[in-house]
Amino acid sequence: MAVRKVERSRERLYEEALAGLQAIVGEEWVSNDPAILIGYSRDQSLEIAHKPNLVVLPESTEQVSEVIRLANRYGMAVTPWSTGGNTGGGCIPQRGGILLDLRRMDRILELDPLNMTVRIQPNVTFGKCYVEAEKHGLRNANPSAPASVSMLANYLDKGVFQVSNRYGVGTDSILGMTVVLADGSVVRTGCDAYPGVGHVCAEGPGPDLGGIFHASMGIFGVVTEMVCQLYPIPRCEDVQSCEFEEEDMEGPAAYLRELAREDCAIETILFGDGYLALGVSENQDAAEVLRPSLPRHNCIAFIGGEDQEEVDIRRRQLLRIAARTGATPSAEALHEMLKDLLPWRRVFKIIQVTPRIERFSGMFELFWFNIEMDKAGEVHRRFTQLARRNFKDTDESKSELPFPPEEVTFYLQPLEFGRTGMLELDAFPNQAEPEGVKRGLKMAAEAIPLILDCGGLFDRPYGGVNSGFGWAQTPRLGTYYELLKQFKATLDPRNIMNPGRLALPSE
Amino acid sequence: MGSFTRNQFDPLLQVAKDAYRCGKCMLCKYIDHNEMSDIRFLNICPPGTRYQFEAYFASGKQEIARGLLQGDIDYTDRLLHAIFTCTLCGGCQAVCSVAGDKNPLKTIVALREKAVRDGMAPLPGHQAIFTSIENYDNPWQQPRARRDAWARKLKVKDASREKVETLLFVGCTYAYNAAAQTAVRDLARLMSAAGLDFGILGREEPCCASPILRIGDFETFRKRAEANLRLLNSTGAARVVAPCAGCYSVLKEEYPDFGEEDFEVISAVELLEELVEEERLKPRHRLARRVTYHDPCHLGRYCEVYDAPRNLLAAIPGLELTEMPRRRENSWCCGSGGGVKTAFPELALWAAETRVREAESVGAEVLASACPWCESNLRDGSRDRLEVTSVLTLLAESVLREVG
């Protein structure tokens, strides 16, 4: 009886909140219909599906602020959603409440070609921004995500790009933000903190408050505007790939580190044969035919410059590094294939591998982390052994996976001029079968401490059920973590902002 | 033992795999990024762009399918609205197929089929179409006796009485819609000028049943398709020419599931392209107009006929063909397909107005298409701002008008 009473009272609260939200954004842009709510129950991750209780589509910072004030009054969880492509369960409203769909905020508010900046709203996709930027000879970063995802959310979540060695990760490109806090107040950071100063201050003023929102997955507030850097498109571009046949990653990682240190390429990435085959082929079948002809490790560099002369100079520099580190320049046939990815916006074609291979009988087990380049080989080797141990004797006949279950696919991107790199290692348990799921969970439980032991750092410590990288490293963070918890308690005392998303045990 | 038919199962079971595997990459909302050129025209999904909630996009419909399969959700008016405001344009499918092997369009069709089987559809707004096709064999509530009225002053053979080489399958909309009849008359005149041995079934011509299929009544469609196939085979024609994109796509893509076709199916624009190439038709009269071409979904994305209409326009002297930002596989739907024009006319009009603005953005004076549904809806959306016409009419103007 008591339970029913509580449920009735919750229902009444949601009905009241529905009316309140309608008053803020208009009836058309709010719903509590299950058919509408279920659309927001999953994202790119394999997190457990969960519906919100209400969904609201505001069109301005002011409306977002009013919605959050209302949520605070009712103590309802708020899950922000820009384009919904999060890979860590960040968009799934695990505790119900209000889903804040920011889709209507889709404008490029300002593009400053002179200072190479752009001011965007949450639902400006990478695709949309690059169409505008290209008109001015500029580009935004191309992410490890499709062109359909939110540029603002990806930058905020420390997205790693093919250009990251030269220009940094997503958060390095942020110059200023407008953030609605958990009490509905609005804070402006970086260059936006002092109105009218232009783009003079990416950090601060003073201690950088903007940093608290980086990779925070909306637990401290909702970013409704962002000013970001754009980069020049080189007048002349070409591609140079070098390869390694051996299984170990030490050689390719050393080559990439040198390449990154000398900064002779604009975009640099190491693809294993599996991903590269998928990326350059039209479909799965074609990829399977192509793959045996590809080298195991393919270090791809897009080099650019003012003219062909500059490109040739950089190519010679790159080939000297290759000779020094034992890399073999790839065959002309592979270069012809890779040239198809120029101009640079076509690199998205490779990135579309992600949705292509996703959820073949479940999703691949995906681990991405930062690690020093000279440690990449060891973690790759140990991870591969672990995958083989866990997935040997798997019944492949029931699997539709693009790779054998004991296979490990990967890509590695150098960061910070080779000081570190972003390594993604993917395993392929057959999640269509209970046995495969069991093995997959065991693999994850063993892989996370292995990666940490090898010196890996999960710099985006998602706190999801399945992608719980963050929980495992929490004990090692000590006071850092205690401080984060205190920030959370101060900024969001009712814990309404995307609760449970960042691995904060007190939530 | 009976045969294994589609009817025995919940249609959603056939698409369950896709519903569960949708990777939420969100590519289904936009045109291919390689084709993006104008930020005003990046979206590909009319209902999603209009209503914005996730459920109105293909990615959200995969969740609706999953929810219904798991019993997480049940039918509501909003659910039916989300399913049936889709124009079945296939834009989501065109983009999704680049990245993966999933078929969101199939999921949406299965959702409709299930709704019909569960007695939740046809919606009241669709009922008139069903009743009309049942009573009059056309969706326009027009008497069968008037079906061949458009051809009265033309000397066209009656293919129900004499054998012809080429059967012109006119389609209900060309037969009854006064504005559309101009184009089919032009087509008949062009076929005559080229010396083709052709005829029509006149009052005996049945509805192709495309509207019934698109609304989700697969069983009724199957019965009609089987009967139509028997009738068409009985004419002995070697070729069936379908000027209506809706008719063409079911004749070409769906009917073969129900039996062998003893004839080749060809669209009017493909036939005319052939006749121009063979110089049996010569576009001579100059048409100094800036024209843009709207790809009908059933001709383009459904049947991959993209070049023929463009080649016809390019063959007309003086005509300047200009392309819209969204074209070919990435075309924006006019908004009238999938039963939307009938049940949700406001959405259809909004989509058409959006398309007209896109045509205006490239400085077009004329918006041409090759489907009576598209032309009619775009005409509504244009409100006389642009001339909306058929490729057939433009070609006829150039070929048949006296030079001078």
- Output the CA angle A136-A145-A345, nearest 5 degrees: 35
Per-residue pLDDT averaged across B349-369, rounded? 98
Output the DSSP codes for A21-56: HHHHH-GGGEE--HHHHGGGS--SS-PPP---SEEE
C-alpha A285, offset from chain centre: 28
| Mean pLDDT lowest among A108-112, A165-169, A218-222, B200-204 | A165-169
Q: Each residue of B148-161: pLDDT tens digit?
A: 999 998 989 999 99
In this prediction, residue A370 carries a pLDDT of: 92
Boundary-marking domain end, from B250, B275, B300: B275
In this prediction, residue B170 carries a pLDDT of: 98
Residues B166 and B296 grouped into a single domain: no
Residues B159 and B184 grouped into a single domain: yes
**Are A147 and B27 in contact (CB < 8 Å)?**
yes
| Mean pLDDT lowest among A188-202, A236-250, B385-399 | A188-202
Residues 40-59 on A with a CB inside 8 Å of B are 40-44, 49, 51, 55, 57
**Are A38 and B38 in contact (CB < 8 Å)?**
no
Residues B143 and B209 grouped into a single domain: yes
- Output the CA angle A49-A51-A54, nearest 5 degrees: 160
Question: To the nearest whole angstrom, how far is the Cα of A341 from the nearest Cα of chain B?
Answer: 11
**Are B27 and A148 in contact (CB < 8 Å)?**
yes
Q: Which residue of B has its CA nearest to A33?
A: B78
Residues 362-401 on B with a CB inside 8 Å of A are none
Q: Higher pLDDT residue, B221 or A233?
A: B221
Residues B149 and B268 grouped into a single domain: yes
- Residue span(s) of chain A under CATH 3.30.465.10 come to 108-232
In this prediction, residue B8 carries a pLDDT of: 56
Boundary-marking domain end, from B229, B253, B275: B275
In this prediction, residue A89 carries a pLDDT of: 81
Boundary-marking domain end, from B92, B117, B142: B117
Among candidates A57, A128, A355 on the partner chain, residue whose Cβ is nearest the Cβ of B52: A57
- Asked if the C-beta of B346 comes within 8 angstroms of chain A's C-beta atoms, the answer is no
In this prediction, residue A166 carries a pLDDT of: 85
Q: Each residue of A225-260: pLDDT tens digit?
A: 999 999 998 888 888 999 999 989 999 999 999 999
- Asked if the C-beta of B22 comes within 8 angstroms of chain A's C-beta atoms, the answer is yes
When the candidates are 1.10.10.10, 3.30.465.10, 3.20.20.80, 3.40.30.10, the CATH number that belongs to A108-232 is: 3.30.465.10
In this prediction, residue A362 carries a pLDDT of: 46
Residues of A in contact with B24 (CB under 8 A): 42-44, 84-85, 355
* Inter-chain contacts counted by CB atoms under 8 A, chains A and B: 136
Q: Which residue of A has its CA nearest to B28?
A: A148
**Are B99 and A356 in contact (CB < 8 Å)?**
yes
- Asked if the C-beta of B98 comes within 8 angstroms of chain A's C-beta atoms, the answer is yes
**Are B26 and A352 in contact (CB < 8 Å)?**
no
Residues B235 and B133 grouped into a single domain: yes
Task: Find the CATH number of the domain harbouring B33.
Answer: 1.10.1060
Q: Higher pLDDT residue, B355 or A204?
A: B355
Residues B341 and B225 grouped into a single domain: no
Among candidates A36, A84, A131 on the partner chain, residue whose Cβ is nearest the Cβ of B26: A84
B15, B17, B22, B26, best to mutate vs chain A, most A CBs in 10 Å = B26
Question: To the nearest whole angstrom, how far is the Cα of B47 from the nearest Cα of chain A?
Answer: 13
pLDDT surpasses 60 at B370: yes
Question: To the nearest whole angstrom, how far is the Cα of A131 from the nearest Cα of chain B?
Answer: 6
Burial group, residue A36, by CB count within 10 angstroms (0-12, 13-18, 19+): buried
With bands split at pLDDT 50, 70 and 90, how would you rate the model's confidence at B6? very low
Per-residue pLDDT averaged across A417-426, rounded? 91
pLDDT surpasses 60 at B132: yes
Q: Each residue of B255-264: pLDDT tens digit?
A: 999 999 999 9
Per-residue pLDDT averaged across A219-230, rounded? 96
pLDDT surpasses 60 at A344: no
**Are A101 and B42 in contact (CB < 8 Å)?**
no
- Asked if the C-beta of B71 comes within 8 angstroms of chain A's C-beta atoms, the answer is no
With bands split at pLDDT 50, 70 and 90, how would you rate the model's confidence at A464? low
Task: Find the CATH number of the domain harbouring B384.
Answer: 3.40.50.10700
* Predicted TM-score of the model (pTM): 0.93
Mean pLDDT of chain B: 94
Q: Which residue of A has its CA nearest to B61?
A: A39
CB contact at 8 A, B61 and B106 = no
Asked whether residue B318 is domain-assigned, the answer is: yes
| Mean pLDDT lowest among A115-124, A271-280, A384-393, B39-48 | A271-280
pLDDT surpasses 50 at B36: yes
- Asked if the C-beta of A283 comes within 8 angstroms of chain B's C-beta atoms, the answer is yes
Residues 412-441 on A with a CB inside 8 Å of B are none
| Mean pLDDT lowest among A219-233, A260-274, B111-125, B384-398 | A260-274
Per-residue pLDDT averaged across A12-36, rounded? 97
Among candidates B30, B57, B64 on the partner chain, residue whose Cβ is nearest the Cβ of A35: B64
Q: Higher pLDDT residue, A452 or A391?
A: A452
Q: Which residue of A has its CA nearest to B102?
A: A356
pLDDT surpasses 90 at A180: yes
Residues B187 and B244 grouped into a single domain: yes
Q: Each residue of A268-282: pLDDT tens digit?
A: 889 888 888 877 777
With bands split at pLDDT 50, 70 and 90, how would you rate the model's confidence at A198? confident
- Asked if the C-beta of A83 comes within 8 angstroms of chain B's C-beta atoms, the answer is yes
Among candidates B26, B82, B98 on the partner chain, residue whose Cβ is nearest the Cβ of A83: B26
Q: In the CATH hierarchy, which top-level class contains the domain A236-453?
A: alpha beta
Asked whether residue B144 is domain-assigned, the answer is: yes
Q: Each residue of A396-415: pLDDT tens digit?
A: 555 566 667 677 888 899 99
- Asked if the C-beta of B100 comes within 8 angstroms of chain A's C-beta atoms, the answer is yes
Residues B131 and B236 grouped into a single domain: yes
Per-residue pLDDT averaged across B349-374, rounded? 98
In this prediction, residue A276 carries a pLDDT of: 83
- Asked if the C-beta of B30 comes within 8 angstroms of chain A's C-beta atoms, the answer is yes
Task: Find the CATH number of the domain harbouring B237.
Answer: 3.40.50
Residues B34 and B147 grouped into a single domain: no
Question: To the nearest whole angstrom, how far is the Cα of B183 from the nearest Cα of chain A?
Answer: 38
Q: Higher pLDDT residue, B88 or B9?
A: B88
| Mean pLDDT lowest among A277-286, B3-12, B184-193 | B3-12
- B389: which strand partners? B368
pLDDT surpasses 50 at A27: yes
Output the DSSP codes for A315-342: HHHHHHHHHHHT-EEPPHHHHHHHHTT-
pLDDT surpasses 90 at A431: no
In this prediction, residue A430 carries a pLDDT of: 66
**Are B25 and A355 in contact (CB < 8 Å)?**
yes
Query: Which residue, B366, B371, B365, is CA-closest to B392?
Result: B371
Q: How many domains does chain B fold into?
A: 3
When the candidates are 3.40.50.740, 3.30.43.10, 3.40.50.410, 2.60.40.2310, the CATH number that belongs to A2-101 is: 3.30.43.10
A42, A50, A129, best to mutate vs chain B, most B CBs in 10 Å = A42
Instruction: Enumerate residues 6+ apart whose C-beta is below 8 A from B99.
Output: A146, A352, A355, A356, B25, B27
With bands split at pLDDT 50, 70 and 90, how would you rate the model's confidence at B120? very high
- Asked if the C-beta of B99 comes within 8 angstroms of chain A's C-beta atoms, the answer is yes
Q: Which residue of A has its CA nearest to B53?
A: A36
Whole-complex ipTM: 0.92
Residues B141 and B35 grouped into a single domain: no
> What secondary structure letter does DSSP report for A502?
B
Residues B130 and B222 grouped into a single domain: yes
| Mean pLDDT lowest among A355-364, B88-97, B212-221 | A355-364
Asked whether residue B254 is domain-assigned, the answer is: yes
Residues B253 and B356 grouped into a single domain: no
In this prediction, residue A363 carries a pLDDT of: 54
Asked whether residue B1 is domain-assigned, the answer is: no
- Residue span(s) of chain A under CATH 3.30.43.10 come to 2-101
| Mean pLDDT lowest among A106-120, A244-258, B4-18 | B4-18
Residue-range definition of the domain harbouring residue B305: 282-400
- Residue span(s) of chain A under CATH 3.40.462.10 come to 236-453
